[in-house]
Amino acid sequence: MSSKEVFVFPASFAQQRLWFLDQLIPGNAIYNVLTVIRLTGSLKLAALEQTFNEIVRRHETLRTTFIVLDGQPLQTIAPSLTIPISVLNLQQLPTDRQEVKAKCIVTAEIEHPFDLSSGPLLRVILLVLSETEHILLLNMHHIICDDWSMGLLIRELGTLYAAFAQNQPSPLLELPLQYADFAHWQRDWLQGEVLQTHLAYWREQLNGISILHLPTDKLRPAIQSYQGATQFLELPKKLIDGLEKLSQQEGVTLFMTLVAAFQTLLYRYTHQEDIALGSAIANRNRSEIEGIIGFFVNSLVLRSNLSGNPTFRELLGRVREVTLGAYSHQDLPFEKLVEELHPERNLSHHPLFQVVFGFQNAPMSALELPELVPSFMNIDLKKTRFDLELHLWKCSEDFRSLWGGNWEYSEGLRGVMVYNTDLFERATISRMLKHFKTLLSGIVANPEQRIANLPLLSEVELHQVLVEWNNTQADYPQDKCIHQLFEEKVQQYPNSIAVSFANEQLTYQELNTRSNKLAHHLQKIGVCSEVLVGICISQSIEMIIGLLGILKAGGAYVPLDPSYPQERLNFMLEDAQVSLLLTQENLLKHFEGFSNPIISIDKDWEIITQEQEDNLKSDLNTDNLAYVIYTSGSTGKPKGVAVPHKAVNRLVCNTNYIKLEPSDKVAQASNTSFDAATFEIWGALLNGAQLVGISKYVTLSSREFALQLREKSINVLFLTTALFQQFARNVPQAFATLKYLLFGGETVDTRWITKILQYGAPKHLIHVYGPTENTTFSSYYCVEELPSATYFPIGRPITNTQIYILDTHLQPMPIGVTGELYMGGEGLAREYLNRPELTAEHFITHPFSNKPKTRLYKTGDLARYLPDGNIEFLGRIDNQVKIRGFRIELSEIEAVLSQHLAVTATVVIVAEDVPDDKYLVAYIVPNQEQIPTQDVQGFASLLRQFLKEKLPEYMVPRAYVVLESLPLTPNGKVDRRALPTPDTITFNNHDYVAPRSQVEELLAEIWAKVLGKEQVGVHDNFFELGGHSLLATQLTSRIRDTFQIDLPVRNLFEAPTVEQLARCIDTMYWTAKGVDKVGTTSQEREDVEF
């Protein structure tokens, strides 16, 4: 853009922000505003050119570019400017090719960035399809226009073209003011008491504002790419009439009603009660500026409180108050608000709000051009600065949509949702728009309904998630207890091997005989229905005899692990009110304080063997208790889960996830106190298979374990996730001979799945999930290839099991939306033993069943449905943390850390040494082949940089602790409470650390001057010290002058401390010199002279 003379004016606050964002992401086309008009008829090109040049003459903004002075942008306005129309002739192409070519040109123009320093910031392109068919492209940078401006430009285009086409002069009056006048007035007006009054309101209104955590299909990238896509929405007139009637009744505008409805939708999707939306307001409160093309629009933050599950009418009142308050303080530019409030800044989120709602209530007037029929063409937006944007506008007879589309309704509302394709799939947005429609219909039908209970899912979706995906009913033995089913197998396979441990084995007949003798003995001592018998026997054939003997006697067993602390064993015996203990002589020392009868199965066997060997008669039914297993409790005291016979039958008989046969050999690698042993023991013995014991000492050695699998011809194996990953890492080929390999219990690292698939997968590789309270397994996922889900799926319900994903109000969640897992069906435990309050809290009345006394188990686990009906496990509810306003799922960080080749295993926790200073700690087991553990500092820096490239800054752990191995519980799960204190490596230390190199010294001096601080340490964060976008540009400007290096503003966001930025500058310097010094720290290099 050339001119002999320019006029310089301050930029407006809004322009200032867009200029800064252009500096942050140079060469971007995020703020391109494109309009495409098809012109059918006789076009006069000279009149069209004259029209645009007259518009440019009338509006200074169209002649504006920007320069920088002392790090701040200024408007420069050329006294005159001719805008050439670029004419592209497509007449030589066939008609079908013309449309394809035109679409390509439009797409390219959308992506074509503007240069704010050289301009022009308006481009006009004319595509010639024929003498009577043209396409006009108008592209402007948002820094010089807004939606109102586009309307003005279209109106002036129609008026001026009509005059010039007939050789008439312009009928338009000269403008009384220009945009530069507004920018100057805005800065003069917005200061002192006026500024402080507005700031006081917004500080109070936005205090403690939370990030909106929408359920996304993909992990949020560390840096936004602004890639977007568009979907269209239509709302019929009948629905809108209902909404308008409700609005009138409640004394609110239709805009307020739509805001309340959209916030309700977001509340249902996120479960957050604090919902903030961004909404544009024209900000043209003075008649003198209504006719000026320029960037006047302001963004308002509409933050509503949806707590307490209000009715929709009640919510309307809250939204009305919020909206009117925002309107009363609309004159404070959003840019000034961000500058003053210092919200958490990072490159992955828009500050203060991440979702935008817009509503244009006034109908758009038609464009009229002589001898031409104009029609606005559809533009599929490919960029967005937000997670979601929903824009609605009212239809009219003359309506011509800038978004185009084939519309079903001529009246009502039409709209578009623009979404970030880095986060969302197209199908997800389609479902969301349908849910919005369903919600609006529910609001019209019953505005007194509470917002959590308003309809969201269609009848088809409800049937799918409640009925279709839970259609798992199948026959299984409901009339026989565990021991009776075992006795049937004895009749069928008396001479088949039932159990083998070490060098000892028993046939089904032999095992039945011994367990019958024990059962007769136990009955004589008083064991009968519902009597709890403690059993503490090392893993052996005697343990299996003991379990069967207790069940045959009519009792229920309580497994006791001799490795447990004495205090825990004493608590379990007392809590279960164990009336009899079955153990071994060498374990008696653990029970010296136990006053009830004790039987030593080895010492007392000579007496026991005198008993009868026939099967006992029993009046038990499958609702009677089979066992009580103790699991960890949140209070620190374990809780006993009481499981009936039928729940075990449902687990192992006629199932859909595994088909066990008499020829199978099932490993018992689990401790009997762990509920996985329920599957192993009874899965084998109730299907005529052989149970093969594996010593716990063998499981500690991957290679010994693999050897035993092969030597003992084991073909069915269950492993906890931790053990599965350990064996996959060390002996991945060991599972190739298995018929079934089941694993589960924790989030799995997909690297080890890949390794198993590469080195020889078993015939069936099955990921299982289930709480003890629903008898071991509740769902299964057959692994054939790595799924595309963010987390590894836990699959679908097993036979005779129902799984529901619900919110806190027991409403079903849509596909892709996080909720809590609830379990139903025949596998439910009876209760928590002697804990009626806890039982009532977790075992609730089934909200979707008409059968009396039907229950669901409330797991406390988070999950969501995938589109194919599989379930994605997202961790424990209590494993979600909030740091600096951001909600974080720790397993997400663990999953990304595990992708690093130098990481063998990892756990992330939250620490809080100082009140209100929560931070993340990563515990790492390094891969010795990839990195030496001696350099802990360097290792931690490496991991931190790796995470910064993949995760937002707030999800990057501050501390890193290197371990030889992760501590495990006796059940093979990671024991988080046994992790050491996180004091190994700490980043972002708030204690002052002086600069240690020349680069750090110079940077600290610059920071202190720009921020107005006496002292800046190398770990101080620029934004936490009060830095904002304007100061960031001043800082980078001074850095360029001092170091003679072109440092993009973006680098400051990626490296916000002196230490990090010094390293960045040092790297840039050496890169420019052609030397690879990236791997070293600034202290290790020679001082660089600047």
pLDDT in tens, 965-1000: 888 876 677 888 788 877 544 443 446 788 888 888
Q: Confidence band (pLDDT; 50, 70, 90) for 359?
A: very high
- 862-901 pLDDT, tens digit per residue, is 999 999 999 999 888 877 676 755 667 787 788 889 889 8
Interatomic CA distance for residues 1056 and 1027, integer angstroms: 10
pLDDT for 408 equals 58
pLDDT for 382 equals 81
Interatomic CA distance for residues 452 and 442, integer angstroms: 12
The total of other beta-carbon atoms located within 10 Å of residue 300's CB is: 23
pLDDT for 692 equals 98
pLDDT for 990 equals 47
DSSP letters of 457-524? S-HHHHHHHHTGGG--------SS-HHHHHHHHHHH-TTSEEEEETTEEEEHHHHHHHHHHHHHHHHH
Paired residues of 766 in beta bridges: 742, 782
pLDDT for 478 equals 94
SS3 at position 367: coil
What is the pLDDT averaged over residues 200-210? Answer: 91
Its CATH class, for the domain covering 998-1084, is mainly alpha
Interatomic CA distance for residues 702 and 726, integer angstroms: 7
Sorted by where each begins, the domain ranges of the chain are: 7-181, 190-456, 484-495+507-644, 884-986, 998-1084
pLDDT for 917 equals 63
Q: Confidence band (pLDDT; 50, 70, 90) for 299?
A: very high
- pLDDT at residue 336 tops 50: yes
What is the pLDDT averaged over residues 309-318? Answer: 98
pLDDT for 362 equals 59
User: Are 172 and 292 a contacting pair, CB within 8 Å?
Assistant: no
Half-sphere exposure (Cβ direction) of 134: Cα atoms closer than 13 Å: 24
Among 168-182, 213-227, 410-424, top mean pLDDT goes to: 168-182
**For the structural domain made of 190-456, what CATH number should be given?**
3.30.559.30
- Look at 761 and 319; give whichever has higher pLDDT: 319
- 373-395 pLDDT, tens digit per residue, is 998 887 777 888 899 999 998 87
User: Can you say whether the dihedral through the CA atoms of 549, 551, 557, 560 is positive or negative?
Assistant: positive
- Look at 618 and 243; give whichever has higher pLDDT: 243
**Residue 97 DSSP label:** H
Q: How far apart are the first and last CA of the chain?
A: 35
pLDDT for 566 equals 86
- pLDDT at residue 783 tops 60: yes
CATH architecture of the region 7-181: 2-Layer Sandwich (3.30)
What is the pLDDT averaged over residues 317-331? Answer: 96
**Of 226-230, 254-258, 821-825, which range is least confident?**
226-230
From residue 166, how far is each of 155, 162, 291, 368, 464 by CA, in Å? 17, 7, 24, 14, 64
Q: Which amino acid is at 965?
A: S
pLDDT for 748 equals 86
- 71-109 pLDDT, tens digit per residue, is 889 999 999 999 999 999 999 999 989 999 999 999 999
What is the pLDDT averaged over residues 32-42? Answer: 94
pLDDT for 787 equals 66
- 497-550 pLDDT, tens digit per residue, is 999 999 899 999 999 999 999 999 999 999 999 999 999 999 999 999 999 999
Q: Which CATH number fits domain 484-495+507-644: 3.40.50.12780, 3.30.300.130, 3.40.640.10, 3.40.50.980?
A: 3.40.50.980
pLDDT for 1088 equals 37
Q: Which backbone phi and psi does 475 adopt, to 5 degrees?
A: -65, 140
- pLDDT at residue 1083 tops 50: no
Dihedral-angle region of residue 582 (phi above 0 means left; psi in -120 to 50 means alpha; beta otherwise): beta
pLDDT for 1052 equals 83
What is the pLDDT averaged over residues 717-741? Answer: 92
- 562-577 pLDDT, tens digit per residue, is 888 788 899 999 999 9
pLDDT for 789 equals 59
**Longest distance between any two alpha carbons in the chain, whole Å:** 122
The total of other beta-carbon atoms located within 10 Å of residue 774's CB is: 32
- Look at 1045 and 54; give whichever has higher pLDDT: 54
- Going by C-alpha positions, the residue among 828, 783, 492 that lies closest to residue 648 is 828
Assigned token pair, 607: 């007496």
pLDDT for 1089 equals 38
- pLDDT at residue 357 tops 80: yes
- Going by C-alpha positions, the residue among 667, 732, 733, 659 that lies closest to residue 699 is 667
- 999-1057 pLDDT, tens digit per residue, is 888 998 988 888 888 888 888 888 777 777 767 878 888 888 888 888 887 788 778 88
- pLDDT at residue 290 tops 80: yes
CATH topology identical between 190-456 and 484-495+507-644: no
Interatomic CA distance for residues 914 and 430, integer angstroms: 45
pLDDT for 1090 equals 36
pLDDT for 738 equals 97
- 431-479 pLDDT, tens digit per residue, is 999 999 999 999 999 999 999 999 999 999 999 999 999 999 999 999 9
User: Are 563 and 571 a contacting pair, CB within 8 Å?
Assistant: no
- Look at 25 and 250; give whichever has higher pLDDT: 250
Statement: 884-986 belongs to CATH 3.40.50.800: no
Q: Confidence band (pLDDT; 50, 70, 90) for 160?
A: very high
Q: Confidence band (pLDDT; 50, 70, 90) for 345?
A: low
Q: How far is CA 798 from the centre of its chain?
A: 26
Q: Confidence band (pLDDT; 50, 70, 90) for 560?
A: very high
pLDDT for 352 equals 87
Report percent pLDDT > 70 for the chain: 91
Q: From edge to edge, which strands make up the β-sheet containing 228-235?
A: 228-235, 413-420, 388-394, 355-360, 274-281, 298-305
